[in-house]
């Protein structure tokens, strides 16, 4: 009976070992499929990201050059410089080169540089360029479609992504990005190591098939130990996930509090502006009321005079009411775009802040040269312009500038707000749009104003907000996309 039991147990062990071997083979098969998927997904995610970048670059270049890329770049060195600065933003350790080339003639084999996003050793405008794997470049011109391919030199392996800029069914230029495959190679090497590990597991399973009877007890203990460790790991992961969610929630609440404080601070400034706007009308109403009372006591108030005084009080009251409407409309949430011009936006903002600026002896110069109609979020754009004007006012007052001046200028699809406050220090000019970065620590600056302004212009309005030092001050420029 005991021998029969042992024999049956032996069969059980063999069956168990066979199941282990079968399971190992299935896992290995799944691993191979997963490995292929991981490599493909990693590469495709890079390509998708780069395609988004080049699409935005193409749109920016076409907008900036009015769809005449070569002619516009040839005429304007400043335009080339600005566009190359935009390309430089995408140059990182991974994305090594970003550049734009074209051909003098469609059937020519010679390429030339139009724009080079390299931070150092830039290629000159119209400098000749002979690419590797030129057949791929020619293919982009013939098919008008994007493609990517692998390059290799003695030092490294990288990919090149080519994006045609097609205008009027003609390739005017090609945006090229060379990006490193170091991350991809790391994944491939890791998968190779795992592959070796799986092969070892399969060999171990085959060996186990022949010695399972002897090691069954040890293996059972090992499995039990692994099970306990797995339970501990799951428990630890669950606890860690809860802690992460709690910290994320805390940070979210902190961000909301900071944003709310920033809004309250802006509301306080608005109330101060309302006080400036109301001071003169209230004084006039008070004077009219005193005059009516005084003449009534002396019985010298005739009907015509009473009507004139009443009309003045009514006029001043309507002015006060209009002021309230301006401020209420300014903060009213607006979820829909509307047709508006820069002039309308600027006049609306100046209705709110002009009195405050005059009381601070700040001169406002308007140079309006744009009549373009934009389809955008008007109230959000007003908030950005108001923030730029308030920042200019703060710096002029803080630095006690003589003859303080703010210049508001519009040209085509751009609007700029500049001052003579000495400009932004070079060591921080690259950081002023970062969240929580502020130079107003003594004035409870939250570092959210310019960050939120940039997000509104870029994310909501689809435009661009940038800063530069010009002359004796700083200039902030807004560019909105012009709808055709």
Summarize pLDDT for 436-479 with one digit per residue, the tens.
Answer: 666 654 444 444 678 778 888 888 888 999 999 988 899 999 99
pLDDT of the residue at 319: 61
Computed over every residue of the chain, the mean pLDDT equals 78
Across 304-325, average pLDDT = 71
pLDDT of the residue at 261: 58
Query: Rg of the Cα trace of the chain?
Result: 35
Would you place residue 175 in the very low, low, confident or very high pLDDT band (cuts 50, 70, 90)? very high
What is the percentage of the chain residues whose pLDDT exceeds 90? 14
- Does the pLDDT value for residue 348 go beyond 90? no
pLDDT of the residue at 331: 55
Would you place residue 322 in the very low, low, confident or very high pLDDT band (cuts 50, 70, 90)? low
pLDDT of the residue at 368: 92
pTM above 0.85, yes or no: no
- Does the pLDDT value for residue 415 go beyond 90? yes
pLDDT of the residue at 364: 93
Domains parsed from the chain with CATH numbers? 34-180 (3.30.450.20), 335-479 (3.30.565.10)
pLDDT in tens, 296-311: 787 777 778 778 778 7
Contacts of residue 368, Cβ cutoff 8 Å, sequence gap at least 6: 342, 343, 346, 409, 410
Please state, in angstroms and rounded to a whole number, the distance separating the CA atoms of residues 167 and 484: 14
Would you place residue 263 in the very low, low, confident or very high pLDDT band (cuts 50, 70, 90)? low
Distance of CA 431 to the CA centre of its chain: 14
Would you place residue 191 in the very low, low, confident or very high pLDDT band (cuts 50, 70, 90)? low
Please state which of the ranges 166-180, 275-289, 389-403 shows the lowest mean pLDDT: 275-289
Across 248-267, average pLDDT = 63
Please state which of the ranges 171-185, 232-246, 406-420 shows the lowest mean pLDDT: 171-185
Most confident stretch, 1-10, 157-166, 314-323:
157-166
- Does the pLDDT value for residue 406 go beyond 90? yes
pLDDT of the residue at 11: 60
pLDDT of the residue at 75: 92
Please state which of the ranges 297-311, 378-392, 412-426 shows the lowest mean pLDDT: 297-311
Across 133-156, average pLDDT = 82
pLDDT of the residue at 151: 75
């Amino acid at each position: 009976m005991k021998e029969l039991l042992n024999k049956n147990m032996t069969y059980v062990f063999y069956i168990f070992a066979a199941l282990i071997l079968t399971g190992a083979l299935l896992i290995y098969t799944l691993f191979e499929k997963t490995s292929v998927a991981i490599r493909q997904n990693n590469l495709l995610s890079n390509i998708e990201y780069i395609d988004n970048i080049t699409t935005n670059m193409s749109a920016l270049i076409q907008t900036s050059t009015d769809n005449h890329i070569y002619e516009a770049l040839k005429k304007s060195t400043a335009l080339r410089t600005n566009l190359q600065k935009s390309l430089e933003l995408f140059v990182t350790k991974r994305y090594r080169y970003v550049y734009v080339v074209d051909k003098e003639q469609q059937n020519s084999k010679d390429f030339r540089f139009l724009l080079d996003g390299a931070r150092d050793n830039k290629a000159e405008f119209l400098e000749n360029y002979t690419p590797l794997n030129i057949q791929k470049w020619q293919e982009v011109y013939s098919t008008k479609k994007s493609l990517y391919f692998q390059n290799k030199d003695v030092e490294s392996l990288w990919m090149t992504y080519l994006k045609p800029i097609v205008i009027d069914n003609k390739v005017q230029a090609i945006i090229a990005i060379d990006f490193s495959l170091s991350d991809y190679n790391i994944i491939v090497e890791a998968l190779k190591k795992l592959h070796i590990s799986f092969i070892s597991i399969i060999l171990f399973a085959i060996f186990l098939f022949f010695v399972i009877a002897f090691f069954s007890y040890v293996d059972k203990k090992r499995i039990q130990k692994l099970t306990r460790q797995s339970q501990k790991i799951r428990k630890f992961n669950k606890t860690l996930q809860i802690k992460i969610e709690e910290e994320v929630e805390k940070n979210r609440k902190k961000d909301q509090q900071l944003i709310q404080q920033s809004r309250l601070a802006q509301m306080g400034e608005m109330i101060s502006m309302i006080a400036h706007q109301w001071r003169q009308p209230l004084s006039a109403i008070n004077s009219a009321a005193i005059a009516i009372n005084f003449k009534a006591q002396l019985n010298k108030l005739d009907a015509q005079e009473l009507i004139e005084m009443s009309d003045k009080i009514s006029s001043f009251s309507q002015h006060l009411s209009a002021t309230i409407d301006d401020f209420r409309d300014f903060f009213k949430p607006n979820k829909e775009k509307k047709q508006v011009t820069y002039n309308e936006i600027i006049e609306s903002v100046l209705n709110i802040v002009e009195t405050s600026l005059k009381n601070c002896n700040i001169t406002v110069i308007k140079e309006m040269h744009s009549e373009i109609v934009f389809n955008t979020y008007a109230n959000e754009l007003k908030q950005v312009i108001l923030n730029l004007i308030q920042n200019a006012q703060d710096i002029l007052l803080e630095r006690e500038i003589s003859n303080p001046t703010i210049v508001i200028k519009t040209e085509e699809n751009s609007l700029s707000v500049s001052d003579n406050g000495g400009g932004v220090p070079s060591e921080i000019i690259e950081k002023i749009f970062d969240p929580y970065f502020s130079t107003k620590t003594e004035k409870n600056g939250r570092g959210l104003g310019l960050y939120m302004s940039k997000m509104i212009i870029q994310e909501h309005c689809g435009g661009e907000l940038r800063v530069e030092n010009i002359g004796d001050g700083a200039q902030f420029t807004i560019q909105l996309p012009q709808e055709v």
